[in-house]
Copies of this chain bind each other. A is one copy, B any other.
Amino acid sequence: GYARLDVGRAARTGDPEVVYGAGKTPAQTVGALRALALAHPGRTVLATRLDEQTRALVRRELPGAEVDDLGRTATLGPPGPRRGRVAVVCAGTADLPVLRECATTVRAFGAEAEEIVDVGVSGLHRLLARMDRIAACDVVVAVAGMEAALPSVLGGLTGLPLIAVPTSVGYGWHLDGLTAWLATLNSCAAGVLSVNVDNGFGAGVAAARIARG
């Protein structure tokens, strides 16, 4: 049964439980998402890490759901009010799925998300040209693979709260993202915060809570 859903979480922490699709059958995920929506009628509920078959089943069974193939998420229920604004930035194509998972989570958790791509440090002018849009936000999430230099460069250009999401994007020996992870935790910029490799969801939850103030 769906008895396992922690329906008291919104009461304790302000935000509802989320369905983590990895390791669940498509039917289990659809059932959990429907049950979550019923338990939280006035707001959006979220499911993440949905594979292709699960996304297909969600589309068939839950016509009201919004499904995103890039970020591999589904949301269901009316968007609640949004407060605050999160800039979610990354360098290139390969980091896009993590950026999108983060942005969708930010919105489901009640804040606006601004997606800014194509600002890798090997072409600095592109980042400098976007600093105004970033400065208009309350918090920045920097999604970065390989050697993850982006959070450090950003940290020298802004005093906003800054969350780094290392990604497992790289070539050769990068240890499934360990390189990027170690980099974010050793940034020469003060106050950079980290989450686990590829954890756009976790960064999104934290960023939304900060942005909502």
What residues of chain A have their CB less than 8 Å away from a CB belonging to chain B? 4, 6, 8-9, 12-15, 18, 20, 22-23, 91-94, 118, 120-124, 138-139, 146-149, 152-153, 155-163, 170-199, 201-202, 205-206, 209-210, 213
Contact = CB atoms under 8 A, between A and B. Distances in A.
A210 B140 CA distance: 11
Contacts of A210: 139, 161, 210
A174 B186 contact: yes
A127 to B, nearest CB: 9
A159 B121 contact: no
Contacts of A185: 172-173, 179, 181, 194-196
A123 to B, nearest CB: 6
A149 B180 CA distance: 11
A74 B4 CA distance: 27
